[in-house]
Structure 1
Amino acid sequence: MTSQNAAAMPASQHYIYGIVAASSQFPEALSGLEDAPVRPYIVDRLAALISPTSLETVRPERRHLSAHQSVLTKVAQATDVLPMAFGMISDSEAAVGETLTEYSEVFSRELARIAGRVEMTVRLRLQGDDIFRMYVEQFPELKRRRDACFSGPREPNQMELLDLGQHFERLLTRDREEKIETAMSVLRPIVSEIKSVEPHDERLMFSIACLIDRGIAQRFDSAIEELASKYRDDYRIEVNGPWPPYSFVGLSLQEPWRP
């Protein structure tokens, strides 16, 4: 990377992808939002990865989300990067430099914390279309309640259906919690940090983010195999990554850039 002089650059809006060390090496010819070239803007030991943009606000459209993630994923394959939240825009390059200066200690500390590490996502997904039926087969008490509702001479009333549904939800919540704890117990000894992420799909039993050292891929794969052996064939383990540490970087900046 070569240093950029803020005073020599024209004032214009720029999209910010992330923060890296100024000495970092990463892929050349990166393109970001609106196919604009991505480059480092360096201040001392830090660099913001930026590209010019004509957008006042970046809407969470597929093309924008894809461009944002693509840049960060490619950079993370080569070096440590602090990913910025999607949609961050600076009014000028000078403002980029000011923020790098103001938050240099925070950025440097976070870069040191995630140095040599990437994020992996581990998910457990229920297979099949009828989750309720699967739980009826697994839990005798739910089967008994289901049969009591639908095996009699009359149709179940609203309260009986509500009770059945609430019992199912309690079972599902308890089962999720138990499976999360099992996964945590297997993965926690080999990862640097770990956290459960709110599932975005009703068939997801859990979604767990792991911050791991780049060099433990084989140990991580072995842990995943051990974890998969603990679940029935009704479940499928999904592993995605490596990613930038999205789930482990929570910078609280006082609005230097606007979303």
Structure 2
Amino acid sequence: MSDAPTTAPPTETQSAPPLYVYAVTGSGHPLNLDGLRTVGDMGGPPDALVHTGLAAVVSPAPPDLRPKRRDLAAHQAVQERLMADGAVLPMRFGLLAPDETAVRTALEQHGEEYARRLTELHGTTEFNLKAARSQDDLLREVLTESDDARRLNELTRDGNGTYDDRVALGELVARQVDARQRLLADQVVGQLSGLARASVVADPAQDDFLNVSFLVERSRAHEFAEAGEKLAHDYGEAYDFRLRGPLPPYSFAA
């Protein structure tokens, strides 16, 4: 066996990681990003890619991106720092671009639309309201105010009702609950809409009857928060109001 010299295999060129995109803003927007950690702790603060009068705030994307608490916090901290100095288009957690060229291409292709949205969002913030009502309280209301529901409930409760009576009661209560929750949602949105520039209603989850986001002037943020607290107080303990904000205006950036 000869002692032939060995050579290391050629090193493959490592491609740059994709970019994580936090927000788009104007190129003249203050970019006070020092001291902020990035999603995935990829080293250094976020950076900005400037093109056609706009700036996209980005950082190298981690290879195992997941909605971990610390990364969600880092994502929001970057956006809040930017929002403190003016309007931004916040991107939702997890938006990736393959490279810098793709980011600049997006800024060029959608530049006019991004600029228009930035103008619309200037001086605003978002509040999100989710609300639920005690099902027992709602059921009592239905049985109190609906003669048919009360009659069928008494009939089936006493054991004298038929299977069809029980089915009819269930269907009637379901319709009544749905109608009352829809009306209640409209009433709540109506009471807060006068303090907002716009609102977007999303599908409520689980036991909630309402999931709505409001676009609010920053100068009225405190007033809006107080109105939300008063609303929760006025409706009483049978209701669960969860108001979050001020937030980046995610629901109005698209």
**Bin of the TM-score, shorter chain as denominator length:** 0.7 to 0.9
Name the aligned partner's letter for residue 138 of structure 1.
Answer: E
Taking structure 2 as the reference length, the TM-score comes to 0.79
Matched, 1:247 2:254: no
The Cα RMSD (Å) is 2.6
Q: How far is the alpha carbon of 1:17 from its aligned partner? A: 1.4
Bigger Rg, structure 1 or 2: 2
Matched, 1:90 2:97: yes
SS in 2 for 1:34: coil
Structure 2 residue aligned with 1:32, among 31, 38, 51?
38
Name the aligned partner's letter for residue 196 of structure 1.
Answer: V
* Larger relative contact order (CA 8 Å, sep ≥ 6): 1
Percentage of identical aligned residues: 25
Cα 1:147/1:62, change in 2 over 3 Å: farther
User: Residue 141 of structure 2 corresponds to which residue in structure 1?
Assistant: 138
Can you give the 5+ residue segments of structure 1 that lack an aligned partner in the other structure? 1-9, 251-259
Q: How far is the alpha carbon of 1:59 from its aligned partner? A: 4.7
Distance 1:147 1:120 in 2: 43
Per-residue CA deviation, residues 31-64 of structure 1 (Å, 9 max, x unaligned), is 2321133222222421111110243x84555555
User: Residue 50 of structure 1 corresponds to which residue in structure 2?
Assistant: 58
User: Residue 72 of structure 1 corresponds to which residue in structure 2?
Assistant: 79
Greater than 6 Å deviation, 4+ residue runs: none
SS in 2 for 1:145: helix
Per-residue CA deviation, residues 101-125 of structure 1 (Å, 9 max, x unaligned), is 2221111111111111010012322
Cα 1:13/1:212, change in 2 over 3 Å: same
SS in 1 for 2:106: helix
Structure 1 residue aligned with 2:183, among 174, 178, 182?
178
Distance 2:153 2:34 in 1: 61
Q: Conserved in 2, the CA contact under 8 Å of 1:137 and 1:143?
A: no
User: Residue 118 of structure 1 corresponds to which residue in structure 2?
Assistant: 125
User: Residue 220 of structure 2 corresponds to which residue in structure 1?
Assistant: 216
Name the aligned partner's letter for residue 90 of structure 1.
Answer: A
Distance 1:120 1:48 in 2: 24
Q: How does 1:149-228 map to 2 (within 5 A)?
A: 149-152=156-159, 157=163, 159-202=164-207, 204-225=208-229, 227-228=231-232
Name the aligned partner's letter for residue 172 of structure 2.
Answer: H
Can you give the 5+ residue segments of structure 2 that lack an aligned partner in the other structure? 1-14
Per-residue CA deviation, residues 206-239 of structure 1 (Å, 9 max, x unaligned), is 1221000100124324532553355243113321
User: Residue 9 of structure 2 corresponds to which residue in structure 1?
Assistant: none
Instruction: Point out the more displaced range, 159-168 or 172-181.
Output: 159-168
Q: How far is the alpha carbon of 1:90 from its aligned partner? A: 1.5
Cα 1:110/1:137, change in 2 over 3 Å: same
Count of matched residue pairs: 233
User: Residue 255 of structure 1 corresponds to which residue in structure 2?
Assistant: none
Q: How far is the alpha carbon of 1:86 from its aligned partner? A: 3.2
